[in-house]
Amino acid sequence: MPSNCCSTEESNHKHLHNGENHDGHDHDHGDSSSFKTYIPAIISLTMLILGIAMDYFDQSEFFQSEIVRIIWYGIAYLPVGFPVMKEAFGIALKLDFFNEFSLMSIATIGAFILGEYPEGVAVMLFYAVGELFQSSAVNRAKNNIKALLDVRPNEANVFRNNQWQTVNPESVEIGETIQIKVGEKVPLDGIMLSELSSFNTAALTGESKPNSIKKDETVLAGMLNLEKVIEIQTTKKFEDSSLAKILQMVQEASSRKAKTELFIRKFAKIYTPIVFFLAVALTFIPYFFVANYEFQTWFYRALVFLVISCPCALVISIPLGYFGGIGAASQNGILFKGSNYLDLMAKVNTVVMDKTGTLTEGVFKVQQINSELERNELLNYLSAIESNSTHPIAKAIVEFHPSELKAESVEEISGHGLKGIVNNKEILAGNGKLLQKFNISYDAKIDEIVESIVLLAIDRKYAGYVTIADEIKQDAKQAISEMKQNGVSQTVMLSGDKDTIVQKVAKELKIDTAFGNLLPENKVEKVQELKQNPKNVIAFVGDGINDAPVLALSDVGIAMGGMGSDAAIETADVVIQTDQPSKISTAIKIGRKTKQIVIQNIALAFGVKIIVLILGAGGLATMWEAVFADVGVAFLAILNAIRIQNLKF
């Protein structure tokens, strides 16, 4: 039987693989769809219906005997009641006496003491059925995580000792060559050695559109090879692969709770003992004020009070609502690292974005070459030093003109460029600020060039420049428009690129404010300025290593996770696996919808319970109404919580 409406959500996260509950015992949470899980409830329901039928329609002496009725309804009670009483006893040993298990056990045993056998069985039966629905709903919410777990390759075909060997992916070392056949999943991250193939990247990005990858480009674990047998050289160990990190992020998402969720947990711990003592008071205090006091009447009302007040609807549906939001987001290629970020995302009114790789493709191409030297000589020096950088501009230069020269003693000067030795000559390659830093003069008109530009100096003398062009992402304009439609009042772009390019992109995308020529520390300063206004709830979106400090500083850090840097992905609170800026507004919508559903569930649970509590205390509500107030409301709240997974965003 499913158990513990308060801890099931937590234990399902913590023990996703082994189905272990908080008490250390194995429970059948993960298999609630199997028929055997429903057998106890079916047995109890069948005996309850037959018992009620015999109570009303069988006039024979057999079922009129009180002992026969106790035995019959006792047998009907045990399949659903015993697991709950066992759980109550187990928790009581830990000195926790006030929980929904003890409430339900006391209420139903009390009903038996009063001779209300059918009601005692019915309360526990419907409680058990509610738990089954809850377990089923949690499993439904976990489907996205299970789907991710299913895409983990369990073997790799590696070239060792002059032959291909099938091994566990965890045993493959960095730098080894592995082979992936058509229809197989890539087991580890690596560099493509074969010329070309197409891949289904749905496991990583949520997008099923095939992606063509060429020689020397990056292939990620979890991609499905669609076209031909390929070979890749591994660049990361299995546990460090992109897929492993995604799985870890999703599974750890439940550890970061939203404030509402944390409040409800604390509230339940205080609320349950208060309810218990109120029920005791309801039983005995009327003795001093009611003329014709009957213990049996007030004891029954107290039992009704206990059943009504069980906090299951709140404690189940609120975490489930957040879990459903995380599931809905992952369906859309967005990974939230915790339910607290869903709450924050719902409040975001200021979105600050990096330019390169976030709003633009980050795929640069050399456009123009202006050299004081022979053209190839300039390109050889420039390519040699840029081969030591992972920046997209550096990659574009190396791809345009590979160099046989080797750079030594290369030093990266943050926000400026590179310094190194090539052919015993000091080489400086970077922006205008780099040359100014070393007091190297060049034509001032070069600073007026709009495109991205890399200047070269040899032995402290200006040698020339190349211009580089980048493309705006296809959905970037739509992304800014949708953000504004979804309540984002301020959009800001920060970039280390030339201010002329930054302003041009900002104007084209209709971004409110844009700043260029920024060093990493300048980006931090700009976000700090925005944070001085307490009304600003800031989301920063970036993809580079230099974005990590700003991602950590913002209220919500969003990383472009498809091809973003590991540092950005690890620092961020939300990861967009598709690299699409339009997903920012999708994340906002999911956050707001989740919050809306959580508030609806709180209002529903409190509203119905307060009404029926008053009726129960006044003797106007029976156990049947109590069952609706507890299990019925929990069931409605669960249905409302899982609704988010079926919505289109």
Catalytic residues, by residue number, are: 354
Q: Is 204 helix (H, G, I), strand (E, B) or coil?
A: helix
CA distance 348 to 489: 9
CA 228 to chain CA centroid, nearest Å: 34
End-to-end, the C-alpha distance of the chain in Å comes to 35
- Give the residue from 555, 536, 649 showing the smallest Cα distance to 344: 555
Instruction: Let me know the angle formed at the C-alpha of 551 by 545 and 553, rounded to the nearest 5 degrees.
Output: 130
Q: Which residue has the tokens 């899982």?
A: 642
| Whole-number Cα distances in Å, 402 to 313, 378, 395 | 64, 12, 10
- The closest of 331, 376, 344 to 642, measured between CA atoms, is 331
Residue 66: Cβ within 10 Å count = 9
R_g of the chain, CA atoms, integer Å:
32
Residues 6+ away with beta carbon under 8 Å from 558: 539, 540, 541, 542, 551, 572, 573, 574, 575, 576, 584, 587
Cβ contacts of residue 474 below 8 Å, gap of 6+?
Answer: none
SS3 441: coil
Burial class (CB in 10 A: 0-12, 13-18, 19+), 127: buried
Residue 28, SS3 per DSSP: coil
Q: Which residues pair with 365 in a beta bridge?
A: 469
**Tokens describing residue 45:** 């329901």
Structural tokens at position 311 = 């906090």
From residue 339, how far is each of 321, 324, 346, 568 by CA, in Å? 9, 10, 11, 20
CA distance 423 to 73: 93
Angle at which helices 117-141 and 66-92 cross, to 10°: 40
Rounded CA gap, 220 and 152, in Å?
Answer: 12
Whether 238 contacts 167, CB under 8 Å:
no
Tokens of 18: 């082994």
Sign of CA dihedral 513, 515, 520, 523: negative
- Give CA–CA dist 247/534, Å, rounded: 35
Contacts of 324 (CB under 8 A, 6+ apart): 141, 594, 597, 641, 642, 643, 644, 645
Q: Determine the Cα–Cα distance for residues 348 and 573; give it in Å rounded to an integer.
A: 13
Q: How far apart are CA 292 and CA 284, in angstroms?
A: 13
d(CA 107, CA 109): 6
CA distance 209 to 356: 23
